[in-house]
């Protein structure tokens, strides 16, 4: 596979980066089922375990539903657990995603973003992870392979601090199968950054407890005489944990910078945005292509910046408002569609801006579904179309435009 270079630079693909990150995070249980384009990641992890490079239990399950069931069980007994999947695998895992988040277990899942059928398609878009938006997981998206390795390591820090599972998402093929230079951290530094997992509650046969028992609507007195939360209080606490996780995410990014020299003290990436009158919003690898588009537009004298969404859940509303305060036009590109509405990230942007003093026009384009190639020049054309549309109306249209042949 990869070749050692000066310092720790390796030329590796996204799946290799994710596998190395899981290994360096010293995960103790890996349960996964292979699915394109995630497969090489699970193969690499099983090889690490087989060769003794990773001291973990690799559970070769028969489905993704079971994969998350195993991760949930492993996490309940105090193990650091990891899984990875894509597309239909994530959809099949849906029920257990709720279970992991509801049980407040710090599992980390790598979602290698892929389209969902029908019709069959193995290529990239973000419909799979966006469809799991409301399961209570933190979602962080990566723009390149460096961010994959760094984000998975940070994800354990975040998950174990706020007791919420973290889904680290990266684009199938575009990142998972594309090699690029990655600075691989030293294991000693990762150990310093990420101490071993200390669960606050552990299921232990020597000390029997009820766990995840049927919880009624209203709070009630438990066997120990203490008032226990009802179902709704537990839901509130999960929401509160996500609402409050921003500080933990920023701190995890800040301390990562302190040790590894790469700054992640941010909820999203901003490029060329300081003097921008128009801001392009994109998530995942498209946010890099968008920087090229912004440069092309700037060559024509159009002041364009890029907001590359990183943390999608919790959605950083006030940070986004701050970043978009000077924008007169916001052009949001989504690799997903909430059918009957619009792209999911566009809805978030609109929601964040509502009721603020920012009165920017917003245009939404659906792009790149099922691996449809989307080039910088097409982002440029769409942005120009959005600018031209302002002459007709500044009011935001009800529905997005699609960059496709219809």
Partner 1 sequence: MAQKSSLSNRPLEIRWHGRGGQGAITAAKIIAQAAYLKGYKGVTAAPSFGAERRGAPVSASTRISTEPVLVVSQVENPEIVVVLDHTLLKYPDVTHGLGKNGWLIVNSPLSPRELGLKGEFNIATADATKVCQDLELIVAGLVIVNTAILGALVRATKIVDLPTLEKIIRERFSKSTVDINLAAINKTYEITKTGK
> Does residue 176 contact residue 40 with C-beta atoms inside 8 Å?
yes
Strand ranges (DSSP E) for 191-267?
Answer: 220-221, 227-228
Closer CB to partner 1, residue 73 or residue 178?
Answer: 178
Minimal distance, residue 184 CB to partner 1, in Å: 14
Q: Is 10 helix (H, G, I), strand (E, B) or coil?
A: strand
**Residues lying near partner 1 in the complex (CB under 8 A):** 3-5, 9, 11, 122-124, 171, 173-175, 177-181, 285-286, 288-289, 291-292, 295-296, 299, 371, 373-376
Closer CB to partner 1, residue 157 or residue 335?
Answer: 335
Q: How far is CA 77 from CA 27, 74, 185, 205, 324, in A?
A: 14, 5, 29, 10, 44
CA distance 284 to 111: 12
Minimal distance, residue 23 CB to partner 1, in Å: 21
Give the number of other CB atoms < 10 A from CB of residue 204. Answer: 11
Q: How far is CA 48 from CA 21, 30, 44, 58, in A?
A: 12, 11, 6, 10
Minimal distance, residue 391 CB to partner 1, in Å: 28
Rounded (10°) angle between helices 145-162 and 245-260: 130
DSSP letter for 289, please: H
Minimal distance, residue 146 CB to partner 1, in Å: 9
Closer CB to partner 1, residue 81 or residue 115?
Answer: 115
Burial of 225 (C-beta count, 10 Å sphere; 0-12/13-18/19+): exposed
Interacting residues of 235 by C-beta distance below 8 A, sequence separation 6+: none
Closer CB to partner 1, residue 363 or residue 372?
Answer: 372
Minimal distance, residue 61 CB to partner 1, in Å: 25
CA distance 306 to 282: 8
Closer CB to partner 1, residue 9 or residue 238?
Answer: 9
Minimal distance, residue 330 CB to partner 1, in Å: 21
Minimal distance, residue 144 CB to partner 1, in Å: 8
Taking alpha carbons only, the member of 80, 52, 57, 62 closest to residue 152 is 80
Regarding beta strands 220-221 and 227-228, do their DSSP bridges make them parallel or antiparallel, or are they unpaired? Answer: antiparallel
Taking alpha carbons only, the member of 43, 46, 66 closest to residue 54 is 46
Minimal distance, residue 53 CB to partner 1, in Å: 20
Closer CB to partner 1, residue 180 or residue 203?
Answer: 180
Closer CB to partner 1, residue 107 or residue 174?
Answer: 174
Closer CB to partner 1, residue 102 or residue 371?
Answer: 371
* Helix spans in 131-177 (H): 145-162
CA distance 327 to 304: 9
Question: Dihedral (C-alpha) 142, 370, 10, 54: value to the nearest 10 degrees?
Answer: 80
Q: Is 385 helix (H, G, I), strand (E, B) or coil?
A: helix
Closer CB to partner 1, residue 5 or residue 254?
Answer: 5
Minimal distance, residue 55 CB to partner 1, in Å: 28
């Amino acid at each position: 596979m990869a070749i050692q270079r000066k310092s720790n630079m390796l030329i590796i693909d996204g799946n290799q980066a994710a596998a190395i990150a899981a290994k360096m995070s010293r995960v103790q249980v890996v349960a996964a089922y292979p699915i394109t384009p995630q497969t090489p990641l699970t193969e690499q992890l099983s090889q690490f375990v087989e060769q003794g490079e990773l001291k973990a239990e690799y559970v070769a399950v028969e489905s993704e539903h079971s994969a998350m069931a195993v991760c949930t069980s492993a996490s309940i007994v105090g193990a650091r657990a990891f899984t990875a999947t894509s597309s239909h695998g994530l959809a099949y895992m849906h029920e257990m995603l709720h279970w992991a988040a509801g049980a407040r277990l710090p599992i980390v899942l790598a979602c290698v973003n892929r389209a969902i059928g029908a019709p069959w398609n193995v290529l990239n878009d973000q419909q799979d992870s966006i469809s799991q938006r409301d399961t209570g997981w933190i979602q962080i998206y990566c723009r390149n392979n460096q961010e994959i390795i760094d984000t998975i390591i940070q994800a354990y820090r975040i998950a174990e601090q706020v007791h919420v599972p973290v889904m680290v998402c990266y684009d199938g093929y575009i990142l998972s199968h594309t090699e690029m230079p990655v600075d691989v951290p030293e294991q000693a530094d990762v150990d310093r950054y990420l101490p071993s997992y200390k669960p606050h509650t552990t299921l232990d046969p020597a000390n029997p407890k009820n766990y995840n028992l049927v919880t009624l609507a209203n709070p009630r007195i438990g066997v120990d005489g203490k008032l226990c939360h009802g179902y709704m209080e537990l839901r509130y606490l999960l929401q509160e944990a996500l609402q409050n996780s921003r500080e933990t995410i920023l701190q995890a990014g800040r301390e990562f910078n302190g040790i590894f020299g790469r700054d992640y003290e941010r909820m999203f990436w901003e490029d060329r945005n300081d003097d921008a009158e128009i801001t392009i919003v994109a998530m995942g690898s498209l946010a890099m292509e968008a920087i090229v588009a912004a440069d092309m537009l700037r060559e024509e004298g159009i002041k364009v910046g890029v907001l590359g969404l990183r943390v999608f859940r919790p959605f950083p509303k006030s940070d986004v408002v701050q970043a978009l305060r000077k924008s007169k036009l916001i052009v949001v590109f989504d690799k997903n569609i909430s059918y009957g509405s619009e792209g999911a990230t566009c809805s978030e942007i609109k929601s964040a801006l509502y009721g603020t003093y920012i009165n920017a026009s917003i245009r939404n384009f659906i792009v790149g579904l099922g691996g449809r190639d989307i080039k910088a020049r097409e982002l440029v054309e769409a942005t120009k179309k959005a600018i031209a549309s302002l002459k007709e109306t500044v009011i935001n249209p009800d529905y997005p435009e699609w960059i496709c042949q219809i």
